[in-house]
């Protein structure tokens, strides 16, 4: 018996789990609101029927009271005419109508209480239905959001998606590395240009010194031994040759 009880509990637990997994919150909420609306319709019908019964009882009580009054007047008329037997019969019927009226009035009190309770229940159900409609829309929106988030997480947890994201990140890192290498190359190239400029400036000093020496020789500032032998002053042809060489040196300096 113990084994059967445990087996029954396991079966019920599995069924409950399957039902819970199969439940769609959106459909369940929609169905719940529909059922509440149907219940409200039935309750309104019950209230309307109770009110109709109450009104009918009121009419019956009023009619019975009116008939009791009429038989009372007939009893008075019979006594006035001296017919005591007829008067007694009229009072008997009056009492029957009077008892009916009293019974109906008692029922009216109970019916009024029932109608009041039904109206209160109807108002409570209307309030709950309105609240359920508002919450239904909110819960449906939350359920859809949660479902979308779950689907997104499941997609991100897939192996293929992870590999795609990893490949994208690797390419991003590679592009950044290429950009860094390009910047480093540009900086090195700029450093070489500066180095070349300084070398040109440093080399220009030697040329200027040689140019100054040549100018000194032309103006006689140099020693006589530096001039050609056999003459203290350069000839016209020599001066032209020196001027030509000087122009070439100036052109080289300008090109440099």
Summarised one tens digit per residue, pLDDT across range 195-206 is: 676 666 666 556
Give the pair of three-digit tokens for residue 116.
Answer: 């009041």
More confident of the two residues 204 and 241: 241
Distance CA 245, CA 27 (A): 104
Name the range with the highest mean pLDDT among 14-18, 99-103, 212-216: 99-103
**105 and 38, same structural domain?**
yes
* Per-residue confidence (pLDDT) for residue 8, from 0 to 100: 56
Residues 90 and 181 in one domain: no
Q: Do 30 and 153 belong to one domain?
A: yes
Lowest pLDDT segment from 54-68, 106-120, 168-182, 207-221: 207-221
Most confident of 34-43, 131-140, 236-245: 34-43
147-196 confidence digits (pLDDT tens): 788 777 777 776 555 666 677 778 888 888 888 888 877 777 666 666 67
Amino acid 201: pLDDT: 64
Tell whether 29 and 141 lie within a shared domain.
Answer: yes
What is the reported pTM? 0.44
Q: Are residues 147 and 183 in the same domain?
A: no
Domains in the chain, number: 2
Give me the sign of the Cα torsion angle 47, 50, 52, 54: negative
What's the mean pLDDT in 130-147? 82
Residue 137 lies in a domain: yes
Q: Are residues 114 and 207 in the same domain?
A: no
Q: Which has the closest alpha carbon to 73: 54, 94, 52?
A: 94
pLDDT at 71: 93
CB 61 within 8 A of CB 108: yes
C-beta separation of 118 from 46 below 8 A: yes
Residues 139 and 215 in one domain: no
pLDDT at 100: 92
DSSP state of 234: -
Q: Say whether both 141 and 251 belong to one domain.
A: no
Task: Identify the band that residue 226 occupies on the pLDDT scale cut at 50, 70 and 90.
Answer: very low
Most confident range, picked from 91-100, 127-136, 217-226:
91-100
CA angle 12, 16, 20 (to 5 degrees): 175
Per the domain annotation, does 32 fall within a domain? yes
24 & 112 share domain: yes
User: Does 32 score more than 50 pLDDT?
Assistant: yes
Q: What is the CATH number of the domain that holds 129?
A: 1.10.287
pLDDT at 207: 66
Q: Give the pLDDT band (50/70/90) at residue 232.
A: very low
Give the range of the structural domain holding residue 199, as residue numbers without chain letter.
176-219+235-255
Q: Are the C-beta atoms of residues 234 and 242 closer than 8 Å to each other?
A: yes
CA 44 – CA 36 distance, rounded (Å): 12
pLDDT of 39 over the 60 cut: yes
In a domain? residue 99: yes
137 has a pLDDT exceeding 50: yes
**Together in a domain, 88 and 35:** yes
Are 120 and 183 members of one domain?
no
């Amino acid at each position: 018996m113990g084994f059967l009880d445990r087996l029954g509990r396991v079966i019920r637990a599995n069924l409950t789990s399957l039902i819970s997994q199969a439940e769609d919150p959106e459909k369940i909420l929609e169905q719940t609101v529909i059922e509440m609306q149907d219940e409200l319709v039935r309750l309104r019908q019950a209230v309307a029927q109770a009110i109709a019964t109450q009104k009918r009882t009121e009419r019956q009580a009023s009619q019975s009271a009116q008939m009791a009054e009429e038989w009372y007047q007939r009893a008075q008329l019979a006594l006035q005419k001296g017919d005591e037997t007829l008067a007694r019969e009229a009072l008997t019927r009056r009492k029957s109508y009077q008892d009916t009226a009293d019974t109906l009035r008692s029922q009216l009190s109970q019916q009024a209480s029932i109608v009041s309770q039904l109206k209160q229940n109807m108002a409570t159900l209307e309030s709950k239905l309105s609240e359920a409609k508002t919450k239904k829309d909110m819960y449906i929106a939350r359920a859809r959001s949660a479902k979308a988030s779950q689907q997104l997480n499941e997609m991100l947890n897939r192996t293929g998606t992870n590999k795609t994201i990893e490949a994208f990140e690797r390419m991003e890192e590679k592009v950044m590395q290429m950009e860094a290498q390009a910047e480093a190359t540009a900086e090195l190239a700029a450093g070489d240009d500066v180095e070349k400029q300084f070398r040109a400036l440093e080399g220009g000093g030697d040329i200027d010194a040689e140019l100054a020496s040549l100018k000194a020789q032309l103006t006689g500032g140099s020693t006589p031994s530096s001039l050609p032998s056999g003459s203290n002053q350069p000839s016209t042809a020599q001066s032209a040759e020196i001027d030509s060489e000087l122009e070439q040196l100036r052109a080289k300096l300008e090109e440099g």
